[in-house]
Structure 1
Amino acid sequence: MRGLAIGIDIGGTRVKAGVVDVYGQVVERLDRATPTHSPEATEDAIADIVGELRGRHHVRAVGIGAAGFIDENRSTVLFAPHLAWRREPLRARLVERLRMRVVVENDANAAAWAEYRFGAAQGEDSVVLVTLGTGIGGGIVTHGLLERGRHGVAGEFGHMTLVPEGRRCECGDRGCWEQYAGGSALARSARELASSGTPLAGGLLDAVDGRADQLSGRVVSRCADEGDPAAEGLLRETGEWLGMGLANLAAALDPGMLVVGGGVSAAGELLMEPARRTFAHSLTGRGYRPSPRIEVAALGNDAGFIGAADLARTAPRRSADAPARRRVQAARERRRALRAR
């Protein structure tokens, strides 16, 4: 399907949307706060954005990148740690309201697809994307296909346990990676430092008029850019946690490229230099195996909605790979039959 499509990236704090053409170019974009208190409020926000953009552009489909577990049919949001969705039949409800083609995908999967198609990973056939936003998401593209797992929920790297019995996570577990390397983790570390009474946090507090509760990952990054040593130290610590997790992913998946995206990645080398250094020290078999390239995402905060729009436009063609799916299903049935003997 050719023509324009709308992509909407629903994160834990912001809804980013845009009209996207077949080359991944953004024709128009919108950015609003995420209404997280109820599924209905979030659906209302989506419908309002689509209505506004449809009023100015002739679009053929809508792609939703949602921060949560999406089922194998790209239809239901099974669980969203930072939103109110629990087994939410999002696609059906949006099709009923919008009366047009809708595809629902995990937001990090959508971003991975965008970087593979139009961004930093063009030309690489084995890509793992890690998105550092409010939390940590992830996506895998191999040989031109999103690897979504048997039940559609692969790529939830942020909820790998890095520290047993560590910090409590919104998902209900402890010690998840995103509690040490995500945007919320960076903000929490800054607030803890500022609340400790140390004079080292003076620059951070000056940036928020003394209100430690207003410190965010974005403020920390800005202060680090301006040379504040405390902010630089916080980003260095975050980068080290990032590198450790990336080494675990490389050991498990052996990709050709690791792409780091999301809002926190805008800190650039202040984050990435310690991440690469820790990765090099932590990768299993280091010195005796090929190492993946580690790159910063090229599409920035637009990646999620660009990928969602492209998936909505191409879903009929790409999801029509029925012969491949039938072969996979037949192999599974053969294995079940062998186990039953």
Structure 2
Amino acid sequence: MTSTVGRQLPLTAGIDVGGTNIRASVVDGAGEVLDTVTAQTPHSAAALEDAIERVVGELRAGHAIDAVGLAVAGFVDEQRSAVRFAPHLPWEDTPVARRLGARLGLPVILEHDANAAMWAEYRFGAASGAHNGVLVAIGTGIGAALLVEGRLYRGSFGVAPELGHLRVVPNGRACPCGKRGCWERYCSGTALVDTAIEALATVPGRATPLAREVVRDPGSLTGRRVAGAAQDGDPVALAVIADFARWLGLGLAFVGDIFDPDLIVIAGGVSSSAPLFLDAAREHYAAAVTGGRHRPLARIRTTQLGEAAGMIGAAELARAALTSAGEARVSPL
């Protein structure tokens, strides 16, 4: 067991429940990850809850855990106790916190994964000191979170904000959400592939290294591969990245017009390639935001906590809920 000497207690577990993997960590009160375990995500609700129980059991074998927070890519209700819908998980209108709490004998809270990541960045990372902030998590799609005067904004029913599904192109690319022209269809890892396919269709089959590779192996085209080709100077990939940067800047200008944040954090898998596009995106943002020459502009930074942010944030929110419950028990009110 890891020594708790010098640790900020209590210890809590943060679990990032993704469509492919479950990642669970023990986190102390300073946001330090003490231990991590992973497992594959099962496809049925019962098997998923069994898997979560197992990973928490593994962590509890070495650490005294007092509460559990789950970061979920889906709609969480306003009480943070049930999953309304998660496109890549088997829960639908499911009282997940109650069911897992009964299994584990521990308090369990749920949070949207982007909210959890934002809270971690606010408490321990890139958003430290922000008053009004936005986190934009760019991966397969776009997840987002809002921080308003130091508090997470979840909306009236727990599902805000869905920035990735702002329509930026009328009758544009089809989106799995059912609409067309959503922002994430032009600014995501998936969008990098779609834009590259469109660009490659306009050049001779073997005109660039990326084109030659795709001709040899069409399945090799991924967002990561496009970014790698851009890093190597491939002209098609560079044009794709330039288009991505433009859409990122324009989308952030919408965000700036609506929320006027002092900080925007870019997170998600695509953020690892930020040196390729972030400076250009800042320029597009500054040019497109209303009155950009006459107002302070949001600082735009990349994540400091990386892929651990969701787990750290979920653990910290579970700790806060545990503390609040303790205060309520001793309050004369």
TM-score bin (small chain): 0.7 to 0.9
CA contact (8 A) 2:39 2:55 kept: no
CA shift in 2, pair 1:188/1:253, >3 Å: same
Q: List alignment gaps of at least 5 residues for structure 1.
A: 323-341
Map of 2:18 onto structure 1: 11
Partner of 1:181: 187
Contact 1:200 1:230 in 2 (8 A): no
Matches within 5 A, 1:22-171: 22-35=29-42, 37-171=43-177
Distance change (3 Å), C-alpha of 1:188 and 1:320: farther
Count of residues paired in the alignment: 320
Contact kept in structure 1, 2:72 and 2:112, CA below 8 Å: yes
Q: SS of the residue aligned with 2:253?
A: helix
1:203 maps to a residue whose letter is L
| Closer/same/farther in 2, CA of residues 160 and 232 from structure 1, 3 Å limit | same
Q: Among 22, 25, 28, which residue is 1:21 paired with?
A: 28
Counterpart-to-counterpart distance in 2, 1:184 and 1:131: 13
Please give the alpha-carbon distance, in whole angstroms, between the structure 1 residues aligned to 2:241 and 2:215: 21
Distance in 1 of aligned mates of 2:23 and 2:29 = 19
Distance 1:109 1:204 in 2: 38
**Structure 2 counterpart of 1:269, one-letter code:** P
Query: What residue identity is the alignment partner of 2:34?
Result: V
Cα contact 1:12–1:134 (8 A) shared by 2: no
Residue 260 (str. 1) matches residue 266 (str. 2): yes
Deviation at 1:175, TM superposition (A): 1.6
Deviations 1:142-174 (A, max 9, x none): 223111111111122111111222222222222
Kept in 1, the 8 Å contact 2:189–2:223? The answer is yes
Give, in angstroms, the shift of residue 228 of structure 1: 3.0
Please report how far the alpha carbon of residue 13 of structure 1 lies from its aligned counterpart in structure 2 after TM superposition: 4.1
Instruction: Please tell me whether the aligned partners of residues 7 and 65 of structure 1 are also in contact (alpha carbons under 8 angstroms).
Output: yes
Deviations 1:92-123 (A, max 9, x none): 22112222111100000000101110001111
Q: Say which SS state the counterpart of residue 216 (structure 2) adopts.
A: coil
| 1:70 positional shift | 0.9
One-letter amino acid of the structure 1 residue matched with residue 293 of structure 2: G
The equivalent residue for 2:291 is 285
CA contact (8 A) 2:71 2:111 kept: yes
Q: Could you tell me how far 1:290 is from its partner in structure 2?
A: 1.7
User: Following the alignment from structure 1 to structure 2, what is the Cα–Cα distance between the partners of residues 134 and 52?
Assistant: 30
Unaligned runs of 5+ in 2: 1-7, 329-333
Distance across 1 between alignment mates of 2:269 and 2:127 = 18
Letter paired with 1:225: Q
Written as runs of structure 1 = structure 2, the 5 A alignment for 1:197-216 is 198-200=205-207, 202-203=209-210, 206=213, 210-216=216-222
TM-score (ref. length: structure 2): 0.87
Moved over 6 A (4+): 319-322
Choose from 242, 246, 250 the match for 2:252: 246
**Residue 218 of structure 1, CA deviation:** 2.4
Equivalent position of 2:4 in the other structure: none
Equivalent residue number for residue 241 of structure 2:
235
CA distance in 2, matches of 1:290, 1:321: 40
Among the aligned pairs, what percent are the same residue? 47
- 8 Å contact from structure 2 (residues 85, 91) kept in 1: yes
CA–CA separation in structure 2 for the residues paired with 1:119 and 1:82: 28
Kindly report the root-mean-square deviation, in angstroms, between the aligned alpha carbons of the 2 structures: 2.5
Give the C-alpha shift of residue 61 in structure 1. 1.3
The alpha-carbon deviation at position 140 of structure 1 amounts to 1.2
